[in-house]
Amino acid sequence: MAPPLLELTPERADPLAQPTRGGLMPVVLAEVGSITLRSEHDLLASTEGQEAVAEGLLLGLAEYLGGRDLAARISLADELSGARPSPVEGEGPLLWAPVAPAGPISLRLTNTGTTEWPSGADLVAGWTASDQPYLAVPPTELAGLDTPVPPLGPGESVVLSVELPSASEARSLAWISLMVDGTTTADLGSPALQLSSETP
C-alpha cells in the first residue's frame, strides 16, 4: 500500500487506519493527471498523445507482469473467477471479507506467476481480532496448514482441502497466503485470501 493520504493527527494517530491508495500495480494506472496547460490538453487529445499513453501503459504492464516470477491467486474453490463481491447494505463499508465456512475449507490455488512454483511451498494462515472489513497487514504469526502444495506451472491450478487454525472468541479475520523460502506471495504483491469468523 502507498503511504497515508492524510497527515497523522492526535485524532488519527494510527498510520494503518488512514485512507490509502493501492501501490502494487503500475502507479500510473491510479494517478490522476494534472493538466494545466492548453498544449498538454491538446497533446493528450491527439492521436499521437493517445498512442504514447497506450504504449507507456502497455510497456508498464508488460514489465510488471513479466517480473512476477512468484505469484499466486488463492480463493474459495466454489468462487467464480472474476465474480463481483456482494456489497453490504447500510452506511458502513460496502465490501467485507466473506465468512469462513465451518470445518475443512476447499481452496483453489492458481499459479499467476511466470515460473513454476518450487517444491516445498506451504500454505500459511493466521487470525487477527478486528472489526474492520479487511486486514491491512498480516497477522503477527502465520502457521503452516500442513497441506502439500504441488509445484504448479504458470496458469495451472489445484483445489486443496485445508483446516484453518482456531479463531479467537472476538470477531477475527484470517489471512491466507503461499510461503516459499520464508517469503509469502502477499509480500510480493499477490493479495492474500481473507476470511471472517463472523458476519459484520
Residue-level pLDDT at 35: 65
Cβ(106)–Cβ(160) under 8 Å? yes
Residue-level pLDDT at 57: 85
Cβ(183)–Cβ(150) under 8 Å? no
Residue-level pLDDT at 121: 93
Cβ(156)–Cβ(108) under 8 Å? no
Residue-level pLDDT at 17: 64
Q: Estimate to the nearest angstrom the gap between the alpha carbon of 154 and the chain centroid.
A: 18
Please state, as a whole number, how many other Cβ atoms lie within 10 Å of the Cβ of residue 93: 12
The residue among 107, 109, 111 whose CA lies nearest residue 155 is 111
Q: Where are the alpha helices (DSSP H) in the chain?
A: 38-45, 47-66
* CB neighbour list of residue 131: distance below 8 Å, 6 or more residues apart: 171
**Alpha carbons 129 and 110: distance in angstroms, whole number:** 28
pLDDT tens across 85-122, in order? 788 888 778 888 999 988 899 999 999 999 999 998 99
φ, ψ for residue 154 (rounded to 5)?
Answer: -55, 130
Cβ(158)–Cβ(168) under 8 Å? no
Sign for the CA dihedral angle at 186, 83, 135, 128 comes to: negative
Residues of the chain scoring pLDDT < 50: 1-2, 21-22, 24-25, 30, 32
